[in-house]
A and B are shown apart, each in its own frame.
Chain A
Amino acid sequence: MTAFLKLLFRNRLAAMGAVVIASILVLAILTPLLPLPEPNVTNTADRFQRPFTEGHLLGTDHLGRDLLSRLLWGTRLSLAVGIAAAFVAATIGSAIGIIAGYYGGRTDNLIMRGVDMLMAFPYILLALAIVAALGPGLLNALIAVAAVNIPFFARNIRGITVSLAGREFVDAARLAGKGHASIILTEVLPNVLPVIVIAMSTTVGWMILETAGLSFLGLGSQPPQADLGSMLGEARAALITAPHTSVVPGIMIFLIVMSVNLLGDGVRDALDPRLKSGALSRPRAITQVDRTSPAPATPQKGVLDLQELETQFHVGPRVYRAVGGVSLHVEPGECLGVIGESGSGKSVTALSVMGLVASPPGVITGGAVKFGGEDLLGASYESLRRKRGDKVAYIFQDPLATLHPLYKVGDQMIEAIQSHHKVSKSKARARALELFEAVRIPNPTSRLDNYPHEMSGGMRQRVGIAMAMVNDPEVIIADEPTTALDVTVQAQILALLDDLRRERGLAIVFITHDFGVVAQLCDRIAVMYAGRIVEEGPTAAVLDAPAHPYTARLIACVPELGGGRRRLEAIPGLPPVVDNLPEGCAFAPRCAKATPDCQRGEIALEGAGARAVRCIHPEEAVA
């Protein structure tokens, strides 16, 4: 709860809304105790007194009644009506929605048709007709406003219930022999309740506006009782002569509705788990670079060179050090494997290269990425954009999510070309076709006009590869491109990448958690743990004789084809959370060979030639 409040109040607008509505509520509750004139006593001789006249802080209305007093009493009533109407509409609407969604089938169909009818009926006329039928009065206006909002709740809640009704826990309850009523009350309701509450909190303001609208049409509270709507309605006649009589209730309505809306938005956001992770923020076009120390001046090695790269995620007061000083390089025609468990920082490292880490919350805090003699981290957006996809291309995991679902794959290919080269659409299409053939997509011409959801996973991945290849880049960064695929498809794709690399001489940075894949494709590998490289070297050397205990354990996890009954060992424990890294070796808590020395001070990545390891008790000496 306190976490929720903290989150809520971090949103300054929501906090402002909360403060305003709270003060209005307090005032409304205290109204009977305040030393106010009677709200209904008329004194027509004193009518239309301006605000700040003596005895009438806000002036008087057309019958000489004290506006401040009427305003507070009216606010009290309007709030009560708004909340009550929201509550009634929410209760009945949700009940209808849950029943329709839960039972489904004909019940659902019948109920939703009814709701459709009500929605097609212009709502003001419905309200008007209800009030005309029931007679005037605030209670009837409340009924009318509630009634016209029932369909809104019924629709929303039905949608959620439908998705719940098919879920396992509901099935389980059904199998356990629970009755419908009991399932609805104990399984479904608790799950939709938050949605109902949020919807209700956002409709209170709307309800108050609606009731005011009915008063505008002359169907509201009975005189002399004041509610905000009827105050506004009664003051309308004098709008031009004595505008303050309409402005006063008008502003109060505005304040209430606005603060309720602000608060409602805030509550909705605060209850959304994604807000905590910062995921509700929009990622910028380019990762924020905020280097605490000057970029290293080391000259570039290979075609792409990462030097002391540090990337962090800043979420509230916490700092997650996802990448803690990684140096990597790749030569033309070379394939470098970056390997590690999920959360080791390998993907973030890869995304940092072209400034694709979602920011906020991501910030690159140090190091350099050198490409073509230039430091990409200091480059302008436009210069970086020109290199993205043209010089350095990415292949992502899970192409169902990474391809745009609403564009044809051919158009997405063409766009990749046209973003960098001024060529005609037909030329670009020809090039796309060429690539489709190169990645061995059957029927490439017709496939160009497919949407991603019309293709199989393997085909989609081929599209992803083709798209990365389309501008003949110098470097391809492949982030677990085969993870979601079955073994045969995976093998085909790896073979394909290998061919392409050899044919075109491009450099590949291949990110994976799978040693089998690495062995097949990579010349050299770097092993990452907790945001740092713990071992690197030529593939065969590392696989044959892993130096870091972590590497050794990782290799031990891989079942080897034809390797007989080797013991598969899981690594005990979990990778550390990177916002609170232990000093020294981050793997020490999980390491069988750890000594107190391991957690004392920085351990350097040391080695000779191509091999290096970050360990004071290596399995193999690499020197």
Chain B
Amino acid sequence: MGAYIVKRLISAIPVLFGITVIVFLIMAMIPGDPATAILGSYATPENVEKLNRDLGLDKPMVQRYFIWLGNMLTGDFGRSFSLNRPVLDEILERFSATLILAGVSFVLCSLLGILAGVVSAARQYGFADKAITFTVLIGISVPSFFLGMMMILLFAVKLRWLPVSGMYAIYGGGDLPDLIYHLIMPALALAAVATGVVARLSRSAMLEVLRQDYIRTARAKGVPEGRVIYGHALRAAMVSIIPVLGIQAGFVLSGAVYIEMVFQWPGIGRMLVDAILKRDILLVQGGVVFVAGCYVLFNIAVDVAQGLLDPRIKT
């Protein structure tokens, strides 16, 4: 297993390297430059040129790429000009916020989705199945930002149960209950789509598994039905659910962009969108590489989990 992990980590290096090239090229392709973004209405060619020189953007592209890459390898992600602080500081701060939001949503969507899928499969064509199928369909058919805005209108503005936005109360907050209180709506809105996807997949995976011979064996042994479903069947179904969870993690992370905007969550998704709009090249590049790196690591973790669950997979 250890050797397998090392092998996977090594094979991730070219992927990450490729990502640095892609993100660098994309940023180079986007019209408009940081100087224009900073100067706004005052961006005369003269001012722009001077500012670009100050920002070190007058060097040839290839040279800029290798300077960036070299610095990054030494842990120096550079300085964001739109935020006027080191890129890595900002990334770490913002990523932890996203990690809380996306992490909770991911756990929610995994638990709720699998549970819904299992219940739905176990009671196929029953009331619970229909109710779940319908709820899940709503979840995956509504744009998450729309859902988020509707939730704000209902729960924050009309009922005043939950705070509109932000991560902590401005005053007197900062503790865990406060965080949870602020997390409820964005986490649910973000989890909605992924829950739907996971639930649908879990349902069909469970249906597939439930008609396998080893389920009949378990029943023939007299294993209680609860254990048949939540033990035997679910465990086998997890083999096909886990890879999808890995993919969903990516969607949750991306979907966080909308939710972070609607709920004003200080996360990295919104940071990256802002950074693209402001042409904050180093911030975009650093952020994307960071997020992609985490995603790659997460996927390796998923594969390892898969290997641990299924002894038939050679790791």
Contacts and interface: CB of A to CB of B under 8 A. Distances in A.
Interface size class of B (residues with CB under 8 A): 35 or more
Interface stretch (A397-405, A486-494, A596-604): A397-405
Interface in B197-238: 200, 206-207, 210-225, 227-228, 232, 235-236
B140 interface: yes
B215 A283 contact: yes
Contact of A132 (B254, B276, B292): B276
Contact of A122 (B29, B157, B291): B291
Contact of B22 (A117, A128, A243, A403): A117
A115 to B, nearest CB: 10
Interface stretch (B57-65, B72-80, B167-175, B305-313): B305-313
B217 A396 contact: yes
A254 interface: yes
B41 interface: no
B26 A129 contact: yes
B15 A116 contact: yes
Contact of A356 (B216, B269, B292): B216
B133 A122 contact: no
Nearest to B142: A254
Interface stretch (A60-68, A182-190, A205-213, A314-322): A205-213
Closest 10 pairs between A and B when the two form their complex, measured CB to CB = A388-B222, A389-B222, A389-B221, A257-B141, A258-B141, A120-B292, A401-B213, A394-B220, A117-B18, A285-B225
B250 A119 contact: yes
26 contacts: A118-B22, A119-B250, A122-B269, A122-B295, A124-B254, A124-B257, A124-B273, A126-B26, A132-B31, A212-B143, A213-B258, A232-B146, A258-B141, A265-B200, A283-B216, A356-B220, A385-B225, A387-B222, A388-B220, A390-B222, A396-B213, A398-B213, A403-B217, A404-B235, A407-B235, A416-B222
A177 B271 CA distance: 56
Contact of A406 (B138, B236, B273, B277): B236
Contact of B295 (A120, A209, A262): A120
A447 B221 CA distance: 20
B82 to A, nearest CB: 15
A322 B161 CA distance: 60
B212 A401 contact: yes
A279 B291 CA distance: 42
Interface string B43-70: 0000000000000000000000000000
Given A253-B143, A254-B142, A283-B215, A133 B31 contact: yes
A150 B254 CA distance: 16
B276 A128 contact: yes
B151 interface: no
Given A129-B26, A261-B140, A402 B223 contact: no
Contacts of B121: 282
A453 interface: yes
Given A217-B257, A217-B258, 15 more contacts: A122-B253, A123-B251, A125-B276, A133-B30, A216-B143, A281-B207, A282-B206, A354-B220, A356-B220, A386-B222, A396-B217, A401-B214, A404-B218, A419-B223, A451-B311
